[in-house]
């Protein structure tokens, strides 16, 4: 019956992914079927930790996060957990030999969200590494399926893609982060008077990440390439929409890509794959 427990646990991570991020789940469905469950298993833990620090305002977040962190490592060490999200996560971590340091770095960034509201350049890069780049690297372990040489080759590209996604999220969520959570991730920016110059400087940095990441996407294993490319195109479209807006508009609204726009992105990416352009 242990296989049924495995199945139920992974089903919980899948449902979590579906409910919390329809866009991300849509990209996951474009991966080879062997990769879908493990990626959902990663997302489940990342999402639950993020929920603790961002939304559980009526509870002791520090205690909850500390407990969740300890339970995560206990699950990995014991190779079992009665928390289905953590059980499915440990299955993936142990199967693909995901480096423990990546998980520790992720939790360090989550802990910063509980105590820090402003970041200098060093802290900013450290936060992005722990909150986003390591998630990309965890996924890369799955994509490479044990090929350590391939992992080492693609590692910097995966980090750039994770960083690009996170920085776009920061721009998109400026209003919610600043007004709702009193957080200012971008260093040396005055969000009370967010200027066009500041916005353009951030956008130039993000574009560099996207450009570098693309060179790695085309080198990904075929099982992963199309799904990752669609996620890349989705975020790139979101980024372009943000770039088209004035700085003050970013502080007034949350930019989204409509469903028909997402369908168009997938269709166009499918044509590129069919023509062997991707």
Per-residue confidence (pLDDT) for residue 126, from 0 to 100 = 96
Higher pLDDT, 215 or 177: 215
**Alpha-carbon distance 74 to 82, whole Å?**
11
Please state which CATH number belongs to domain 2-274: 1.10.600.10
Give which of 140, 174, 178, 142 is closest to 157, Cα–Cα: 140
Predicted confidence (pLDDT) per residue in 138-162, tens digit: 999 999 999 999 999 999 999 999 9
* Burial (Cβ within 10 Å: 0-12, 13-18, ≥19) of residue 182: exposed
Q: Where are the domains of the chain?
A: 2-274
List the alpha helices (DSSP H) in 116-221.
Answer: 121-128, 134-144, 148-172, 174-175, 196-217
Q: Which helix (H) or strand (E) holds 24?
A: helix 22-28
**Alpha-carbon distance 194 to 216, whole Å?**
33
Summary mean pLDDT of the chain: 91
Predicted confidence (pLDDT) per residue in 205-248, tens digit: 999 999 999 999 999 999 999 999 999 999 999 999 999 988 88
Predicted confidence (pLDDT) per residue in 79-133, tens digit: 999 999 999 999 999 999 999 999 999 999 999 999 988 899 999 999 999 999 9
Predicted confidence (pLDDT) per residue in 46-69, tens digit: 999 999 999 999 999 999 999 999
Q: State pTM to two decimals.
A: 0.92
**Alpha-carbon distance 112 to 107, whole Å?**
9
Spatial contact of 27 and 231, defined as CB atoms under 8 Å apart? yes
- Which tokens belong to 185? 């991730």
Per-residue confidence (pLDDT) for residue 158, from 0 to 100 = 98
**Alpha-carbon distance 133 to 103, whole Å?**
11
Q: What percent of the chain has pLDDT over 70?
A: 91
């Amino acid at each position: 019956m242990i296989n049924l427990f495995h199945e139920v646990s992974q089903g919980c991570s899948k449902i979590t992914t579906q409910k919390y991020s329809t866009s991300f789940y849509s990209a996951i469905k474009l991966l080879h079927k062997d990769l879908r469950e493990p990626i959902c298993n990663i997302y489940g833990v990342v999402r639950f930790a993020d929920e603790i620090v961002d939304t559980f305002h009526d509870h002791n977040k520090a205690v909850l996060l500390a407990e969740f962190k300890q339970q995560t490592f206990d699950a990995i060490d014991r190779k079992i957990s009665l928390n289905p999200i953590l059980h499915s996560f440990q299955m993936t971590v142990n199967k693909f030999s995901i480096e423990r340091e990546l998980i520790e770095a992720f939790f360090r960034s989550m802990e910063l969200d509980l105590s820090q509201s402003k970041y200098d350049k060093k802290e900013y890069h450290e936060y992005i590494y722990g909150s986003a780049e390591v998630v990309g690297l965890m996924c890369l372990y799955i994509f490479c399926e044990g090929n350590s040489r391939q992992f080492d080759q693609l590692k910097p590209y995966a980090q750039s893609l994770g960083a690009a996604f996170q920085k776009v999220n920061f721009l998109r969520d400026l209003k919610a982060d600043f007004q709702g959570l009193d957080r200012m991730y971008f260093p040396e920016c005055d969000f009370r008077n967010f200027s066009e110059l500041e916005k353009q400087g951030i956008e130039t940095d993000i574009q560099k990440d996207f450009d570098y990441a693309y060179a790695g996407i085309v080198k990904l294993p075929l099982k992963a390439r199309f799904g990752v490319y669609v996620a890349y195109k989705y975020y790139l479209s979101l980024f372009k929409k943000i770039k088209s807006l004035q700085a003050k508009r970013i502080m007034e609204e949350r930019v989204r890509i409509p469903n028909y726009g997402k369908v168009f992105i997938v269709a166009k990416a499918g044509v590129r794959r069919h023509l062997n352009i991707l």
